[in-house]
């Protein structure tokens, strides 16, 4: 088991949340607390950078959807970046890759967001 | 000793003097005074119990004068009724037998009737020829000890009562949870002619209400509906969502036999119910079975659920793919994808929740995964639903703490031979 850590950076296009470690039932609250406190202005993109993600179960999927709800509540949006293959497979099964935009990495996500804006 | 000219020693002189005085008074203390005013009661009696000598401390406890006690009362006269009885039946016989008795708890009764708990030690003094002469007894004040013991006892009773109450609450809660859990799952599945069914439900922890559900029920005369799903979250909130999902699916199925339309109805119900805050959704497979020749025609739709597995009579196994089905309850107009297939004799349809495929196995704690499940099901295809589920139950128990989510299994199969169908109906 790899304990979860979450780091937040501010990009011009909106907050970038780096998720490192295992995102599961026991650790999902850490991620949700970090994201729940973020300001996502109207038009901004909350990027969830999963390059350091080592495990993700359905609690993690729920947490991504909660982040998406949080961003949309203030007029923003959320996207996933650098999704590991095992998580991408689960996202595809549950259809979440059609709710949240998925980008190869956080930089590309930010570029896409600035083009959109 | 101390020199007055040394300031550092001045402070010591006063202390030294006090200690000296204490020593002097100790040395001057007479044995008589020690006896009379000892911090315990002293008593000497003849062998028949008649009091021959008593100290001032004990007389003070008793509230009596020396001359009304000495030669007039016996030891047992100083005791309460219960104490007298205990003295006669236990204390005195033991003392005569062993020559001494140590630390027996008794109560003495003072002249004004008040009682006082004491610890009694008695020793028989023998003459030169070994014949018993008299009994020497000490009585120690046990009032503080008694109240301490009473407090301990009271605290222990309170703790025991609290523990008993907590245990009763736990049992009550557990049985309430079990009843609720049962309401989320059917007790038994109906007999479907020509179909064998097997199920399994594993709760990750006995205190966690399940978030998985399944059911099988008739749709009119000759069709059967089934579903299996998994709600987000755990605990009571998940259970209430499970209940809503289960009854919505059953109701929706009464109005349409199109699996995708049934899931769309559930989607609307969940989305309307949980529009804000914590995402609440479920994944589900819903299907309809219709007898067709010696097999069954099966139509399913999936909402965000891992694909069902069909094992074939020849030992193969394949996914019943429903790609693109969306989680149920997240989007107002979610697409649900249907699939169509046929179960021939010897074929089985296995539905499962992701507790199985998301179990973390092996040294690298990797996910068990759908592909490993497909291969495993293929190995056990010949066992039919009962064999497949039994093998999976054994597999699950081998996962140990790698299995940290609820897991539901529903397996529907067409027996390879009609005899086996009759067999299956009885189970």
pLDDT of B241-254, one tens digit each?
A: 888 999 999 999 99
| pLDDT, position B398 | 87
| A81 bridge partner residues | A49, A103
Task: Report which of residues B49 and B423 the model is more confident about.
Answer: B49
Q: Are residues B123 and B237 in the same domain?
A: no
Please identify which residue in the block is written with the tokens 């039932």. A25
| pLDDT, position B78 | 95
DSSP classification of residue A99? T
Q: Are residues B118 and B189 in the same domain?
A: no
| pLDDT, position B23 | 74
Does residue B330 form part of some domain?
Answer: yes
The C-alpha angle with vertex B390 and arms to B389 and B396, in degrees rounded to 5, equals 85
Structure confidence at residue B9 as a pLDDT band (50, 70, 90)? very low
- Measured CA to CA, the distance from residue A109 to residue B66 in angstroms comes to 103
- Measured CA to CA, the distance from residue A80 to residue B87 in angstroms comes to 86
> Which among A22, A58, A91 is the top mutation candidate for probing chain B, defined by the most B β-carbons within 10 Å of its own β-carbon?
A58
Q: Are residues B124 and B224 in the same domain?
A: no
Mean pLDDT of B118-134: 93
Does residue B13 form part of some domain?
Answer: no
The H or E element that residue B318 is part of is strand B317-320
Last-in-domain residue among B145, B161, B182: B145
And the tokens for A97? 């890759």
Pairwise CB contact (< 8 Å): A96 & B281: no
Domain that holds residue B130: 37-145
Q: Are residues B182 and B285 in the same domain?
A: yes
Q: Is B235 an 8 Å CB contact of chain A?
A: no
> Which among B354, B357, B361, B407 is the top mutation candidate for probing chain A, defined by the most A β-carbons within 10 Å of its own β-carbon?
B354
How large a percentage of chain B has pLDDT more than 70? 91
Q: Is B426 an 8 Å CB contact of chain A?
A: no
Please tell me which residue of chain A has the smallest CA distance to B404: A25
CA distances A66 to A28, A29, A60, Å, are: 11, 11, 10
| pLDDT, position B15 | 62
Does residue B198 form part of some domain?
Answer: yes
Q: For the domain that residue B58 is a member of, what is the CATH number?
A: 3.30.450.20
| B212 bridge partner residues | B230
DSSP classification of residue B77? G
In chain B, the number of structural domains is 2
Does residue B16 form part of some domain?
Answer: no
Please determine, for residue B59, whether its predicted confidence score (pLDDT) is greater than 90: yes
| pLDDT, position B358 | 81
In chain A, what residues touch B353 (CB-CB under 8 Å)?
Answer: none
Q: Is B404 an 8 Å CB contact of chain A?
A: yes
Q: Are residues B208 and B251 in the same domain?
A: yes
Tell me the average pLDDT of chain B.
87
Question: B290 vs chain A: nearest CA distance in angstroms?
Answer: 27
Does residue B151 form part of some domain?
Answer: no
Structure confidence at residue B417 as a pLDDT band (50, 70, 90)? confident
Q: For the domain that residue B213 is a member of, what is the CATH number?
A: 3.60.40.10
Q: Is B283 an 8 Å CB contact of chain A?
A: yes
Q: Are residues B141 and B199 in the same domain?
A: no
Pairwise CB contact (< 8 Å): B232 & A62: yes
Please identify which residue in the block is written with the tokens 């014949």. B131
Pairwise CB contact (< 8 Å): B279 & A55: no
Pairwise CB contact (< 8 Å): B365 & A55: yes
Pairwise CB contact (< 8 Å): A94 & B367: no
Mean pLDDT of B44-61: 94
Does residue B405 form part of some domain?
Answer: yes
Nearest to A69 among B279, B303, B358 (CB): B279
DSSP classification of residue B74? B
Question: A84 vs chain B: nearest CA distance in angstroms?
Answer: 13
Mean pLDDT of B63-83: 94
Q: Are residues B184 and B130 in the same domain?
A: no
Q: Are residues B214 and B88 in the same domain?
A: no
| pLDDT, position B147 | 86
How large a percentage of chain B has pLDDT more than 90? 60
Q: Are residues B183 and B135 in the same domain?
A: no
Structure confidence at residue B255 as a pLDDT band (50, 70, 90)? very high
Pairwise CB contact (< 8 Å): A93 & B305: yes
| B125 bridge partner residues | B134
Q: Are residues B216 and B92 in the same domain?
A: no
Chains A and B: how many Cβ contacts under 8 Å? Answer: 60
Q: Which residues of chain A have pLDDT under 70?
A: 1, 116-117
Does residue B359 form part of some domain?
Answer: yes
Nearest to B327 among A73, A86, A95 (CB): A95
The C-alpha angle with vertex B230 and arms to B226 and B232, in degrees rounded to 5, equals 150
Please determine, for residue B371, whether its predicted confidence score (pLDDT) is greater than 70: yes
The H or E element that residue A35 is part of is helix A28-36
pLDDT tens for B308-367 read 999 999 999 999 988 778 899 988 888 898 999 999 999 999 999 988 888 888 777 777
Task: Report which of residues B261 and B423 the model is more confident about.
Answer: B261
Question: B399 vs chain A: nearest CA distance in angstroms?
Answer: 16
Pairwise CB contact (< 8 Å): A95 & B230: no
> Which among A71, A74, A94, A96 is the top mutation candidate for probing chain B, defined by the most B β-carbons within 10 Å of its own β-carbon?
A94
Pairwise CB contact (< 8 Å): A57 & B358: yes
Please identify which residue in the block is written with the tokens 């002097």. B24
In chain B, what residues touch A73 (CB-CB under 8 Å)?
Answer: 276
Q: Are residues B126 and B179 in the same domain?
A: no
CA distances A44 to A97, A110, B127, B331, Å, are: 19, 10, 107, 21
Pairwise CB contact (< 8 Å): A55 & B283: no
The SS3 of residue A105 is coil
Pairwise CB contact (< 8 Å): A58 & B276: no
Pairwise CB contact (< 8 Å): B404 & A24: yes
* Alpha carbon of residue B383 to chain centroid: 38
Q: Are residues B384 and B276 in the same domain?
A: yes
| pLDDT, position B359 | 83
Question: B214 vs chain A: nearest CA distance in angstroms?
Answer: 18
Roughly how many angstroms between the first and final C-alpha of chain A, as a whole number? 39
Does the predicted interface ipTM exceed a cut of 0.90?
Answer: no
Nearest to A99 among B232, B323, B331 (CB): B331
Task: Report which of residues B133 and B236 the model is more confident about.
Answer: B133
Mean pLDDT of B165-177: 89
Nearest to A94 among B276, B277, B304 (CB): B304
Mean pLDDT of B192-206: 87
Question: B327 vs chain A: nearest CA distance in angstroms?
Answer: 5
Task: Report which of residues B386 and A86 the model is more confident about.
Answer: B386
In chain A, what residues touch B334 (CB-CB under 8 Å)?
Answer: 95
Please determine, for residue B225, whether its predicted confidence score (pLDDT) is greater than 70: yes
Interface of B with A in 343-362 (CB under 8 A): 354, 358, 360
Does residue B187 form part of some domain?
Answer: yes
Considering Cα of A20, then A23, then A27, then A29, what sign does the dihedral take? Answer: positive
Domains of chain A (ranges; CATH) run: 5-116 (3.30.750.24)
- Measured CA to CA, the distance from residue B41 to residue B138 in angstroms comes to 5
Task: Report which of residues B344 and B368 the model is more confident about.
Answer: B344
Pairwise CB contact (< 8 Å): B354 & A58: yes
| pLDDT, position B233 | 78
And the tokens for B221? 């005369």
| pLDDT, position B135 | 95
Structure confidence at residue B424 as a pLDDT band (50, 70, 90)? very low
| pLDDT, position B419 | 59
């Amino acid at each position: 088991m790899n304990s979860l850590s979450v780091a937040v950076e501010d990009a011009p296009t909106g907050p970038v949340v780096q998720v490192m470690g295992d995102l599961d039932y026991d650790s999902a609250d850490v991620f949700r607390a970090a994201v729940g406190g973020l300001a996502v202005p109207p038009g901004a993109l909350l990027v969830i950078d999963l390059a350091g993600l080592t495990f993700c179960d359905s609690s993690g999927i729920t947490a991504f959807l909660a982040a998406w709800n949080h961003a949309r509540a203030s007029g923003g949006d959320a996207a996933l970046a650098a999704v590991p293959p095992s998580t991408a497979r689960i996202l595809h099964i549950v259809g979440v890759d059609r709710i949240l935009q998925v980008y190869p990495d956080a930089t590309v996500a930010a570029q896409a967001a600035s083009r959109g804006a | 000793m101390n020199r007055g000219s040394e300031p550092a020693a001045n402070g010591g002189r006063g202390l030294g003097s006090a200690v000296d005085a204490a020593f002097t008074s100790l040395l001057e203390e007479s044995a008589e005074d020690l006896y009379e005013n000892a911090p315990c009661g002293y008593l000497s009696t003849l062998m028949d119990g008649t009091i021959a000598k008593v100290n001032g401390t004990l007389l003070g406890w008793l509230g009596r004068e020396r001359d009304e006690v000495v030669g007039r009362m016996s030891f047992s006269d100083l005791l309460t009724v219960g104490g007298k009885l205990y003295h006669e039946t236990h204390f005195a016989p033991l003392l005569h037998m062993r020559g001494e008795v140590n630390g027996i708890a008794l109560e003495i009764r003072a002249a004004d009737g008040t009682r006082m708990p004491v610890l009694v030690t008695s020793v028989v003094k023998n003459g030169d020829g070994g014949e018993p002469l008299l009994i020497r007894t000490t009585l120690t004040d046990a009032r503080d000890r008694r109240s301490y013991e009473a407090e301990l006892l009271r605290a222990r009773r309170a703790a025991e009562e609290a523990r008993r109450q907590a245990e009763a609450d736990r049992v009550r809660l557990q049985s309430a949870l079990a009843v609720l859990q049962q309401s989320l799952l059917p007790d038994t599945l109906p007999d479907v002619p020509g179909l064998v069914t097997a199920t399994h439900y594993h709760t990750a922890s006995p205190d966690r209400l399940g978030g998985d559900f399944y059911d099988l029920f008739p749709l009119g005369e000759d069709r059967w509906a089934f579903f299996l799903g998994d709600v987000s979250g755990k605990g009571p909130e998940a259970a209430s969502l499970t209940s809503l999902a289960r009854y919505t699916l059953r109701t929706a199925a009464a109005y349409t036999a199109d699996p995708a339309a049934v899931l769309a109805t559930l989607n609307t119900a969940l989305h309307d119910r949980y529009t804000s805050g914590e995402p609440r959704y479920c994944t589900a497979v819903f299907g309809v079975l219709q007898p067709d020749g010696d097999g069954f025609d099966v139509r399913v739709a999936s909402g965000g659920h891992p694909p069902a597995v069909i094992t074939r009579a020849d030992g193969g196994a394949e996914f019943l793919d429903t790609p693109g089905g969306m989680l149920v309850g997240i989007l107002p107009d979610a697409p649900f994808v249907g699939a169509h297939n046929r179960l021939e004799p010897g074929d089985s349809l296995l539905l499962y929740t992701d507790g199985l495929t998301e179990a973390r196995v092996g040294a690298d704690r990797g996910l068990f995964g759908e592909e490993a499940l497909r291969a495993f099901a293929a190995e056990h295809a010949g066992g039919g639903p009962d064999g497949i589920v039994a093998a999976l139950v054994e597999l699950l128990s081998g996962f140990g703490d790698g299995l940290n989510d609820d897991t539901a299994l529903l397996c529907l199969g067409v027996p390879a031979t009609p005899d086996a169908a009759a067999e299956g109906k009885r189970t």
